[in-house]
Structure 1
């Protein structure tokens, strides 16, 4: 891959986009483009089309999305469905019309049915109903996956979708109302430790199982997809290992040094009982993750402590 290839990273200031940017710079890529939401509103079809027509990047990495946890998905279903469709549809359609040959679409493991067999294989897509608490986001992402598949089939372009498991790491969202479970726990345990090791109350029973992937590993997978022409349209990206939410909480409690009690609020929803990705297809073509969970949490907590005054959406 030409290191001077012009690469547009949509969502370059987000957790995933910024990790991809760092990974590409580390590998020597010198022609990276990023636009803030103020500079380019990805929900504006005309603006996106004009931008891509002017810049004509050689490749696009779509890491832009409206994201959030169970609470945010439940409270803002229309925004999660409409805004994510607008963002991805504008980028995919304009990329096709501009003649861009390489497009990497990033989604989420929530595209798979709630009760699909475990671990989740790519072929389980659209075989059953979704998890109701995040179906709005999932439906949008499924649309993006199918658009890229349609372009591969009809126009024979190298458009591929990568579906990461639960991501965490540097530049994560630690806002308790809109964040995912791991960063929310980091903040809760940190604040409780500083509050005389107060009890930490967590949603659900602690029994659901989840898989987590350090965001820098995800970025390496994106770079791998950029530098290689992958033979299929959809790939899962994960660690291939899962743990219970209770085990996650205990690991974060250990890393943060919190010494109080953990209280489980069983009246709150658990969400999907288990979500483990089958990552054999990525392994078969030569990529696998390398950061163990506790190591990744330690790196994330160190970053949290170093950036506590400026972290997005965190009001300590």
Structure 2
């Protein structure tokens, strides 16, 4: 892409969108279009259509959406399906209608069946039942994939879908009511360390295995795909390995410097037993993640501390 290409990043203020903008800026791109949620409600079809008509972006990164951890997904099922459905439908349709050259839709590995074979290949999509705790969110993200696929098959629109494993890194949310497992562990371990609490409470059994991807690597993969000759399709993005939640908790405690005891709340849901992505399709295009998990957690903890300092 030419460095003057007009790029719209939907969700630029979030963890994923901000990482994509940093990666593009580092590559020399400067012509960004951004709107805050207050400036543009992506669930409003007329507003989105007017925005695309006025701004005419050439490339779109669709990283906007309602996101959260297992607790938020399970408690706010209606909001998760409605808001994500509306955002995806409005942005993808308007992108096609107003002649966007390329679009990248950012989804989630939860689109795949709960109990499918591991590592998870892209063609396992819709091959079995979903995990119930986040089914509404997963259904919405599947729709985004199918929208991109359908606009390519009918109109030749160059719309790509990317499914990352669990993301973490700078600009993440540490709100325990809504955040994902890794930032929740960082906050809990830090507060236990500072408060001298002897125990760290962890949801579930600690047995589920998860794959974690540093958000800067995810952004690098997205830019790599958009710079490739690929004009459509679904691509997993991950590290290629995973670990049990109990090992993740021990790793976070080591990075934070907390040496208390882990207590598992066995009455809380575990979610999907395992989610390890097969990344062969992306590897064949010459991309691999660079940030090892411990290094990424160190950087994320530094980000957490810096945000504490700013608010103190």
Q: Match of 1:135?
A: 135
Q: Match of 2:167?
A: 167
Alpha-carbon distance, 1:233 to partner: 0.8
Alignment partners' CA distance in 2, 1:111 and 1:237: 13
Q: Match of 1:111?
A: 111
Query: Within 5 A, what are the aligned runs for 1:218-229?
Result: 218-229=218-229
**Cα deviation 1:104-152 (Å, max 9, x = unaligned):** 0000000000001000000000011000000010000000000000111
Q: Say if 2:262 is the partner of 1:259.
A: no
Q: Match of 1:125?
A: 125
Q: Match of 1:240?
A: 240
Alignment partners' CA distance in 2, 1:309 and 1:256: 16
Alpha-carbon distance, 1:265 to partner: 1.2
Q: Secondary structure at the match of 2:187?
A: helix
Alignment partners' CA distance in 2, 1:247 and 1:230: 37
* CA gap 1:201/1:23 in 2 versus in 1, 3 angstroms: same
CA contact (8 A) 1:189 1:200 kept: yes
Q: Match of 1:43?
A: 43
Query: Within 5 A, what are the aligned runs for 1:62-141?
Result: 62-141=62-141
CA contact (8 A) 2:16 2:215 kept: yes
Q: Secondary structure at the match of 1:160?
A: strand
Alpha-carbon distance, 1:310 to partner: 4.9
Q: Secondary structure at the match of 2:163?
A: strand
TM-score when normalising by structure 2: 0.98
| Misfit runs of 4+, over 4 Å | none
CA contact (8 A) 1:197 1:258 kept: no
CA contact (8 A) 1:239 1:288 kept: yes
Alignment partners' CA distance in 1, 2:176 and 2:297: 17
Alignment partners' CA distance in 1, 2:198 and 2:175: 19
**Cα deviation 1:79-105 (Å, max 9, x = unaligned):** 000000001110001011101120100
Alpha-carbon distance, 1:309 to partner: 4.6
Moved more, 101-110 or 149-158: 149-158
Alignment partners' CA distance in 1, 2:41 and 2:172: 22
**Cα deviation 1:238-271 (Å, max 9, x = unaligned):** 0011000001000000000001111111111111
* CA gap 1:212/1:291 in 2 versus in 1, 3 angstroms: same
Aligned-residue CA RMSD in angstroms? 1.1
Q: Match of 2:183?
A: 183
TM-score when normalising by structure 1: 0.97
Alignment partners' CA distance in 1, 2:140 and 2:157: 22
CA contact (8 A) 1:158 1:229 kept: no
Aligned length: 312
Alpha-carbon distance, 1:169 to partner: 0.2
Q: Match of 1:60?
A: 60
Alpha-carbon distance, 1:198 to partner: 2.7
* CA gap 1:76/1:310 in 2 versus in 1, 3 angstroms: farther
Moved more, 195-204 or 91-100: 195-204
